[in-house]
Each structure stands twice: as structure tokens, then as C-alpha cells.
């Protein structure tokens, strides 16, 4: 008979590994947050590549957590120019896009997932600006978001593909 008070070490190790992955990749997001893509709002940076990588390599929770925290770090570096509530909303959007990228990768493959990430983070997310400056603001920010999204997700996809090919993940 199993002692119900005994710790489940296998689950404990998995939780510790998951937390370690998230912490390491949040740190990488913090570094990426310091590298900006020039834009009207100043919050487009190289912070989401680690989140997309985690979504592709480790899972939904890891990717969503890293990309959400990464966005808040990027916005925090420049003083939350759109206001904290809107940046929390944008972070949640990005977490959803990371989950979607993982889902599309599992169903259709890596490159359709890359395209999905660029379309949702670059085009759909631009319309968040409608709340602040109307459609003109959304269309004005869109090219910058598309460029940032494309760069971030390509870095994540190439790293994922390289590490997977080398059997490191």
C-alpha cells in the first residue's frame, strides 16, 4: 500500500524543471527587452523570441508565461507608454498568440505556425491601438509590429529547428 503522505518526487522534479525553463527564458526576454525596434510607441523589442521558443519547444504554459512577462518587461523599460492596463491586455494577447503558435505547430507544422504568429502579433495586435488613436494609429503601428513579430518568431523558429535537429530538445 502506498503512503499518501509521501511526496511525488517525479512531479516535483517536473515542476522545478518547468519553473527553471520559465526563469531562464524570462531572463532572455529581459535582455531582448533592452533591444528595441524603432517605432512610434517604443515598446516593440526583441523580447518575444524566448516566449515563442518556449511555446514551440516546451509547451503552452511555458510559452505563454515567458511571452507575457517579456512584454511587461519591454513596456516597463520605457515606462508603460500606453498605460499599465493596456500593456496587461497586450501581454495577454501575446500569451494567446504563443499558445496559438504552439497549437498550429502541432497541427500543421512549424512554418504555418510562424506565419500565424506574424499575422496575429503583427496585424491583429495592431488593432489594439484603435482604443488609443483610432484606425490610423493601428495602421501606423502595423508595419513596425509586423517587422518585430517576424524577427522574433523567425529567431525562435530557427533556434527551435536547430536544437531539434541536434536532438537537444
pLDDT digits (tens, 9 = 90+) for 65-112: 999 999 999 889 889 988 999 999 999 999 999 999 999 999 999 999
Return the half-sphere exposure (C-beta side, CA atoms, 13 A cut-off) of residue 130.
7
End-to-end Cα spacing for the chain: 37
Q: How far apart are CA 63 and CA 47, in angstroms?
A: 12
Range of the domain at 149: 9-165
Q: How far apart are CA 99 and CA 103, in angstroms?
A: 6
pLDDT at 126 over 80: yes
- Number of domains, the chain: 1
Q: What is the pTM of this model?
A: 0.89
Q: Are 54 and 157 in contact (CB under 8 A)?
A: no
For residue 2, tell me if it sits in a domain.
no
Residue 151: which CATH number? 1.10.1760.20
Q: How far apart are CA 123 and CA 119, in angstroms?
A: 5
For residue 4, tell me if it sits in a domain.
no
For residue 74, tell me if it sits in a domain.
yes
Amino acid at each position: 500500500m502506498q503512503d499518501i503522505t509521501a511526496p511525488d518526487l517525479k512531479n516535483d522534479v517536473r515542476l522545478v524543471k518547468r519553473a527553471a525553463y520559465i526563469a531562464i527564458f524570462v531572463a532572455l526576454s529581459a535582455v531582448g527587452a533592452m533591444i528595441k525596434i524603432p517605432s512610434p510607441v517604443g515598446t516593440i523589442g526583441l523580447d518575444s523570441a524566448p516566449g515563442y521558443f518556449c511555446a514551440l519547444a516546451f509547451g503552452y504554459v511555458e510559452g505563454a508565461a515567458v511571452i507575457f512577462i517579456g512584454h511587461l518587461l519591454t513596456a516597463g523599460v520605457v515606462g508603460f507608454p500606453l498605460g499599465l492596463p493596456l500593456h496587461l491586455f497586450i501581454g495577454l494577447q501575446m500569451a494567446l498568440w504563443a499558445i496559438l503558435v504552439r497549437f498550429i505547430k502541432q497541427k500543421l507544422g512549424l512554418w504555418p505556425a510562424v506565419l500565424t504568429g506574424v499575422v496575429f502579433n503583427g496585424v491583429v495586435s495592431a488593432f489594439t491601438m484603435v482604443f488609443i488613436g483610432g484606425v490610423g494609429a493601428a495602421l501606423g503601428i502595423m508595419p513596425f509590429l509586423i517587422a518585430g513579430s517576424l524577427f522574433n518568431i523567425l529567431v525562435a523558429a530557427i533556434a527551435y529547428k536547430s536544437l531539434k535537429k541536434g536532438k537537444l530538445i
